[in-house]
Amino acid sequence: MSLLAADRVTIARGQRVVLRDVSLGIKAGQVLGILGRNGAGKTTLLRALAGLQSIQSGAVTFDGTKLTDMPPRQRAQRIAYLEQSGSGAWPIASRDLVALGRLPHRPLYPLGSAKLNKQDEGAIDRALAATDATDFAIRSIDALSSGERARVLLARALAGEPKVLLADEPVAALDPGHQLGVMHMLRNQAQAGMAVVVVLHNLALAARFCQRLALLVDGALLAIGAPQEVLSDANLAQGFGIAALSGTAQGEHYVLPWRAL
């Protein structure tokens, strides 16, 4: 049984249909990668899964309940959304930024003390530890490198201890070392029982770190399934207009984009 599921979701922006009849499900413990060209509808799909997007037809359900029927705070406690190239508007300390992830668990109108309780503090500490960001927790997010900031933003999403994590291109703009680091962290979260959905452009990372992949073409689902099936020559040609080299190394599947068709 899928924890989070999209059922025949169609989304239009004005006259243009940006997502057409997309159905997919994510189980706890899995990493699902969403692939597709620029403009294929990946971010729209992720926003729909997060309940941030109004849907023309179809529905997104969490554990059988439609997101639109869930109180926003209840939804926020279960589903975390990591925005693409997100940042903070103000140069607050990293730990303060991570603490924002606890907002769905805290009263919205605090009278009296605005202090975090023990449970909040514990969740924040665990999130910082999981993303290896404890060392720069007291530094302002402005004083961090992009790799460090990406980890702090991920920690913010984890601090709410959600059941589902939706991450939009969390490794864009990171060097290869940090890309691998973040993907490892996502895989660890899935192994700990979280359902993780991640939008990716890097096929090599998608092939290695995701149990399942969904490939979007012009807003429609071209293929969904295990990486080796989805990243077939025919799908890569139709989905990206490329040919790729692929193989197995150290027991893991890899795909290397080789040339444009």
User: Judging by DSSP bridges, how do beta strands 65-66 and 57-62 pair with one another?
Assistant: antiparallel
Residue 65's SS3 state is strand
Spatial neighbors of 114 by CB under 8 A, at least 6 apart, are none
| Distance of closest approach, residue 121 Cβ to other proteins, in angstroms | 8
Query: Residue written as tokens 């989070």?
Result: 4
Binding site for other proteins (CB under 8 A): 47, 50-52, 71-77, 79-83, 86-93, 95-97, 99-101, 103-104, 106-110, 114-116, 138, 140, 142, 156, 160
DSSP-derived secondary structure for 144-181: S-HHHHHHHHHHHHHHT--SEEEEESTTTT--HHHHHH
| Distance of closest approach, residue 102 Cβ to other proteins, in angstroms | 9
The DSSP output letter for 56 is: S
Q: Are 199 and 34 in contact (CB under 8 A)?
A: yes
Q: Which structure tokens are listed for 202?
A: 């890097």
| Distance of closest approach, residue 19 Cβ to other proteins, in angstroms | 17
What does R_g of the chain's alpha carbons equal in angstroms?
19
Q: Which helix (H) or strand (E) holds 217?
A: strand 212-217
CB closer to other proteins, 87 vs 191: 87
| Distance of closest approach, residue 71 Cβ to other proteins, in angstroms | 8
CB closer to other proteins, 80 vs 224: 80
CB closer to other proteins, 74 vs 146: 74
Q: Are 179 and 206 in contact (CB under 8 A)?
A: no
CB closer to other proteins, 2 vs 77: 77
| Distance of closest approach, residue 164 Cβ to other proteins, in angstroms | 11
CB closer to other proteins, 139 vs 253: 139
Q: Which structure tokens are listed for 150?
A: 């990406």
Query: Residue written as tokens 């990493």?
Result: 31
CB closer to other proteins, 116 vs 242: 116
Spatial neighbors of 15 by CB under 8 A, at least 6 apart, are none
| Distance of closest approach, residue 124 Cβ to other proteins, in angstroms | 9
| Distance of closest approach, residue 253 Cβ to other proteins, in angstroms | 32
CB closer to other proteins, 72 vs 241: 72
